[in-house]
A = this chain, B = another copy of it.
């Protein structure tokens, strides 16, 4: 690979002058600039990013830490984040944690300032202490809700309100025995969505029935199907289910249909995430639609501001918008 030096000797100038041309320094004679540019293309010069970053003290990378790329929500969100990052001249390094606390910890621990300029983290199971221990001196923007009050930048929708909106919709269409799938003591978002569910029930004067709160180990289709099977084996089955994400909802949908139930007539289903699939499933899925594009842009902008501005500013807690997409799984065709 050609280096600054090679270009310099070919153009008959010093390496620094070449560097100046590369970096758009103003005071280079037009004639020299031309010769340098010619030499650059002649040898196919490409700056060595590693060396440049070593010199500049930055890496040019950010890490994006998500549970799993194969989960459509994270696939879609990651795509948007990568696109937003490119506008800031960042390359994105993706790490997967499977939503396990140990892997979230070790990933965070492995991401020193040498590796990345900053990190966008979508934690599932991390706890307060983990941050104070591991997030020292690195810029982190957290995505998704968390229960703990931390001095960390944070972008998310109002999960409690979103869940409440979803359940209120079910109540609004006349449902009274509303179940929820996805309870999980280790997941921060689960607690918030459960809180919204409870608020909506309370506001409507409906009873809180513990047998209608079904846990889910992970948030995949299989878990949703299993949870729905459990619900349908109850003496009195629910007339609606609020699932903590779309995948759970698709699994639940499938399990309900397998048992011959009509959706939404026998049982209405609401999801959370508005993955692309939700508009095409049969029936299409009513779901909470976080503004993913806004989340991606906001997170990147915030991280950029945090990393590039010299002065400190207090941690930001930014709420992005969401909407309820009403589809066939609650109101029929």
Oligomer: number of copies: 2
A280 touches B82 (CB 8 A): no
Question: Does A69 lie at the interface of the complex (its beta carbon under 8 Å from any beta carbon of B)?
Answer: yes
B75 touches A96 (CB 8 A): no
Q: Report chain B residues within 8 Å CB of A95.
A: 82, 91
Question: Which of B69, B93, B280 is in CB contact (< 8 Å) with A250?
Answer: B280
Q: Report chain B residues within 8 Å CB of A282.
A: 253-254, 257, 281-282
A254 to chain B, nearest CB (A): 5
B114 touches A70 (CB 8 A): no
Q: Report chain B residues within 8 Å CB of A112.
A: 1, 46
B82 touches A76 (CB 8 A): no
A279 to B255, CA, bound (A): 12
A82 to chain B, nearest CB (A): 6
Q: Report chain B residues within 8 Å CB of A250.
A: 277, 280-281
A69 touches B53 (CB 8 A): no
Given A82-B96, A280-B225, A282-B281, does the pair A114, B72 have CB atoms closer than 8 Å? no
Binding site for B on A (CB under 8 A): 1, 46-51, 53-54, 59, 61, 68-72, 74-76, 78-79, 82-83, 91-96, 112-115, 137, 220-221, 225, 250-251, 253-254, 257, 276-277, 279-282, 284
7 A-B pairs with the lowest CB-CB distances in the bound complex, closest first:
A75-B75, A69-B79, A70-B76, A46-B112, A48-B114, A70-B79, A282-B282
